[in-house]
Chain A
Amino acid sequence: MTNRSSSDLRLGASFRDPSGFLFTRNGVLYRQINRAYQEHYDHLMSSKLYAKLVYAGLLIAHEEVDLAPEEPELSYRVIKPEPVQFISYPYEWSFSQLQDAAKATLSIQKLALEAGMVLKDASAYNIQFHHGKPVLIDTLSFEIYQEGDPWVAYRQFCQHFLAPLALMSYRDVRLSQLLRLYIDGIPLDLASKLLPRRTRFNMGLATHIHLHAAAQKRYANQVVVNTKGTRKMSKISFLGLMDSLESTTHKLTWKPSGTEWVDYYTASSGHYSSTAFEHKKKLVSKFLELLTPVMTWDLGANTGEFSRLIVEKGYPTIAFDIDPAAVEQNYLLARKDKESRMLPLIMDFTNPSPALGWHNQERHSLLERAPADLLLALAFIHHMAIANNVPLQALARYLHDLGHWLIIEWVPKEDSQVQKLLANRQDIFSDYHMEGFESSFNKYFSIREKSTIADSPRVIYLMESK
């Protein structure tokens, strides 16, 4: 991080909206509300829309504070929003997480309309998962509804939510990664081209994606002349539009199946004997008793079996996995159980989320959101070191940057999983053995505990960063 002047304390993503912006002071997050936004903010509060949304768990709560504003010439008020524990991005979400974020956006818009307000943007980045549920974090996104106006955020909703969800549902779940490339959602003409022909017979998708894309292209260079009263959109039509978007969104489905990881833990797959599995759980729990991690990252969490051990002790955990099906299953289970302390996310640790957007500062890389207090690297090391040729020392160095405490499982070459990985390739891993592992990691960590797993060649370690 370079030195910053006071004007640089404005957060990297918070610059496009003249209504206000986020800034930090002494490590605390605040939002300045500009005078330009005054009447809308006052209406949000006085109409009780704010109270309704916060009570419904749809909007992040805030308090008004007596703080010197960051830019006094523009400022109306400063508020302190409740901080979100971990910032995640739509390209890290599974299908249902993105769908729930879309549904939340539309629910918020419907409630807002009852109070005479509309959302002026429908960006997926305005939603964060807070205590396991999607909430709107942009308090300044509301503006007073003027009957007759179409929804100004319609394009954004279609690009950020509908297009990726449709692509995941109809083509391939991995297409959500296009959101990494297109920071303002997937362009509709691209989505239209990629979606199969049968989506043209789906009323909602035909209208909101295909027809919408065609209209965008057709009128891209047309002059828009401001005149009064020619064409308007009544409130009923507005409600109808919301209804149409809602049913189109709700009807999209994705069933995770047939991917390699989903069956990993079932007894029949034979990867783990149940003795080994139970003992591993006991050992992780035992190591956990020595710690009080404020934030835990489970690397390669699969469906969150071990994340749940952490979470059940009351410690918030992010359950990362490369497989969208595993993350989806984990999320659906967490949602059903109303689990508020775990957040499943999609992450490829050989290519983790980079910094994106303007000045590479709008969306933080995974590293910028590190470190965690505790890392779980169970059944992880061989996927880095063997499957992806990452040298053990490089892995140690990376994990050292990611977290302070580390519970890591050493998976030796004799293990059936490693044998599988080596089955069709040359064994070039002469340094991949326990002594090599321990000496590489000793450069960055101190080994605190070491236990062999019963009925298994694997060994579990507890390490602390040096």
Chain B
Amino acid sequence: MYFTELNLFTSLLRTQAYLDPGSGSFLIQLLIAGVVGAGFLIKAYWKKIKGLFNRSETKEEDDEQVQQ
């Protein structure tokens, strides 16, 4: 991958950020955004999925819960 320019979305008007975040630091976040986002969702729902398997009652599985 070779970029001559990096296009990032920033808003000029409301930037309060006085720090220099660094192009590299911005880029990394966008690169990993998909991975960490997916990881977060899996983690959040893993507990729910585990919870379903741990139940010892013979209750039917709640379809809505799974589909969430």
Q: CB-CB contacts of B18-47 with A at 8 A, as 1s and 0s?
A: 110111111111111111111111010000
Q: Decide yes or no whether B59 CB sits under 8 A from chain A.
A: no
In contact, B24 and A215 (Cβ under 8 angstroms): yes
CB distance from A66 to the nearest CB of B (A): 26
In contact, B18 and A17 (Cβ under 8 angstroms): yes
In contact, A219 and B24 (Cβ under 8 angstroms): yes
Chain B's interface: helix, strand, loop or mixed, by majority?
A: helix
Q: Decide yes or no whether B8 CB sits under 8 A from chain A.
A: yes
Q: Contacts A146-B11, A225-B7 known; A241 to B24 CB distance under 8 Å?
A: no
In contact, B3 and A222 (Cβ under 8 angstroms): yes
How many chain A residues touch B (CB < 8 A): the figure is 52
In contact, B29 and A219 (Cβ under 8 angstroms): no
How many chain B residues touch A (CB < 8 A): the figure is 37
In contact, A219 and B14 (Cβ under 8 angstroms): no
In contact, A225 and B5 (Cβ under 8 angstroms): yes
CB distance from A248 to the nearest CB of B (A): 11
The distance in angstroms between the C-alpha atoms of A154 and B11, with both chains bound, is 18
Q: Please report which residues of chain A, range 207-243, place their CB below 8 angstroms from some CB of chain B when the two chains form the complex.
A: 207, 211-212, 214-220, 222-234, 236-237, 239-241, 243
A interface residues (Cβ-Cβ under 8 A, vs B): 16-19, 36-37, 40, 120-121, 143-144, 146, 148-156, 158, 207, 211-212, 214-220, 222-234, 236-237, 239-241, 243-244
Q: Which residues of A contact B21 (CB under 8 A)?
A: 150, 152-155
Q: Contacts A240-B38, A244-B39 known; A230 to B24 CB distance under 8 Å?
A: no
The distance in angstroms between the C-alpha atoms of A230 and B9, with both chains bound, is 6
CB distance from A242 to the nearest CB of B (A): 8
CB distance from A399 to the nearest CB of B (A): 41
Q: Which residues of A contact B66 (CB under 8 A)?
A: none
B interface residues (Cβ-Cβ under 8 A, vs A): 3-12, 14, 16-19, 21-41, 43
- Total A-B pairs in contact (CB under 8 Å)? 141
In contact, A243 and B24 (Cβ under 8 angstroms): no
Listed A/B pairs (11) with beta-carbon separation below 8 Å? A40-B16, A151-B29, A155-B22, A207-B28, A211-B28, A219-B27, A222-B6, A236-B40, A236-B41, A240-B41, A241-B32
In contact, B8 and A215 (Cβ under 8 angstroms): no
Q: Contacts A227-B7, A243-B36 known; A216 to B25 CB distance under 8 Å?
A: yes
In contact, B19 and A120 (Cβ under 8 angstroms): yes
- Closest chain B residue to A245, Cβ basis: B36
In contact, B9 and A224 (Cβ under 8 angstroms): no
In contact, A219 and B3 (Cβ under 8 angstroms): yes
CB distance from B2 to the nearest CB of A (A): 10
In contact, B37 and A212 (Cβ under 8 angstroms): no
Q: Which residues of A contact B7 (CB under 8 A)?
A: 225, 227, 230-231
In contact, A216 and B6 (Cβ under 8 angstroms): no
Q: Which residues of A contact B22 (CB under 8 A)?
A: 155, 216, 219-220
Q: Contacts A212-B28, A218-B24 known; A153 to B33 CB distance under 8 Å?
A: no
In contact, B6 and A237 (Cβ under 8 angstroms): no
The answer, among B9, B27, B28, B34, for a CB contact under 8 Å with A227, is B9
Beyond A146-B14, A152-B21: 18 further Cβ-contacts under 8 Å? A17-B18, A36-B16, A120-B19, A149-B9, A155-B21, A216-B22, A219-B3, A219-B24, A225-B6, A226-B12, A227-B8, A227-B9, A229-B9, A230-B9, A231-B8, A237-B29, A239-B37, A244-B32
